[in-house]
Amino acid sequence: MHVGKVKERLETSFVGKPLIYYRRVSSTNDVGKELAKKGVTEGTVILAETQTKGRGRLGRKWVSPSGGLWFSLILRPKIKPKDLPQLTFMAATAIAKTLRSLYKLRAQIKWPNDILVNNRKVCGILTEGHTINETVEFTVVGVGINVNLEVKAFPSTIRSIATSLQKELGKSVDREKLLCSLLMQIENSYLTWRKEGFKSILKEFRTLSMFLGKHVKISVFDERIMGIAEDLDETGALIVRLPDGTRKKILVGDLEILEL
């Protein structure tokens, strides 16, 4: 990664300013939280070539070799903890839109935090907040994108469900250009969210989603819920129509689309 090129090309007003680069870290989210506690400004981005302890939701391991884009963005919106998922939705819409516009890929969102191309995961998002007195003091939005990676580099357990931009495009990608475009779109989406509220983000999220109307199975801890993913409510919670016709609201869980 040529960080100098990124800084030269970056046209944002505050996202990525500053941009802090590491060759190797445990996790960009961990570094981001430590820096945020020390008072770094909103918009700071922590970027790493590799992560030794990258993670996804629920503490799952995220393999982060050289060639991907692994970064975290520090934001300081004054929100309640229950509104943190809105920032995941904001980032997901921005990333899907960027992949569509740059590469003409049909990037789609899988609720709540994955970006898929050809039904395989190319990107994950992990949003973490630090709360004091029921107010979020800062938020760290972590993004992991499989860019110039060979699928054979992935662990055998995820090869069938993961992909990379290089695999989908049949060629390597200019990571500096991608990062600049992503940060610009994330800034635009964040400012839209702050100005207009969650409704505008949610509308785009629905449009870019690939699960609505599909038969799904959602794993919520030890519970398995099956039905049709019917809609998202105003908070982003998933509304599932169960086989008996009743509707259930799901705030968090792992979604799997069922092929019937």
Phi and psi for 105 in degrees, rounded to 5? -85, 145
Residue where a domain stops, chosen among 208, 224, 239: 208
Spacing of C-alpha 220 from chain mean position: 20
Q: What is the pLDDT of residue 55?
A: 59
Query: From CA 251, how far away is CA 239, in angstroms rounded?
Result: 9
Asked if residue 260 has pLDDT above 70, the reply is no
Let me know whether 128 and 244 are in one domain: no
Where does residue 33 rank: exposed (0-12), middle (13-18), buried (19+ CB within 10 A)? buried
Q: What's the whole-number mean pLDDT along residues 62-89?
A: 90
pLDDT band at 60 (very low <50, low <70, confident <90, very high): low
The model's pLDDT over 99-110, given as tens digits with 9 standing for 90+, comes to: 999 999 999 999
Q: Are 205 and 236 in contact (CB under 8 A)?
A: yes
CA–CA distance from 93 to each of 185, 199, 210, 220 (Å)? 9, 13, 12, 24
The model's pLDDT over 212-227, given as tens digits with 9 standing for 90+, comes to: 999 999 998 889 999 9
- E strands, 133-222, where? 135-145, 215-220
Let me know whether 76 and 185 are in one domain: yes
Q: What is the pLDDT of residue 29?
A: 94
Asked if residue 58 has pLDDT above 60, the reply is no
CATH number at 161 reads 3.30.930.10
Q: Which of 26-30, 155-159, 171-175 shows the lowest mean pLDDT across its residues? A: 155-159
CATH number at 220 reads 2.30.30.100
Q: Per the structure, how many domains does the chain have? A: 2
Q: What is the pLDDT of residue 203?
A: 95
Let me know whether 231 and 203 are in one domain: no
Q: What is the pLDDT of residue 233?
A: 94
Q: What is the pLDDT of residue 77?
A: 94
Let me know whether 76 and 136 are in one domain: yes
Let me know whether 97 and 220 are in one domain: no
Let me know whether 230 and 175 are in one domain: no
Domain range for 230: 215-257
Other CB atoms within a 10 A radius of the CB of residue 103 amount to: 15
Let me know whether 200 and 225 are in one domain: no
Let me know whether 99 and 142 are in one domain: yes
Let me know whether 194 and 78 are in one domain: yes
Q: Are 229 and 216 in contact (CB under 8 A)?
A: yes
Q: Look up residue 52 and give its two tokens.
A: 């030794």
* Count of residues making up the chain: 260
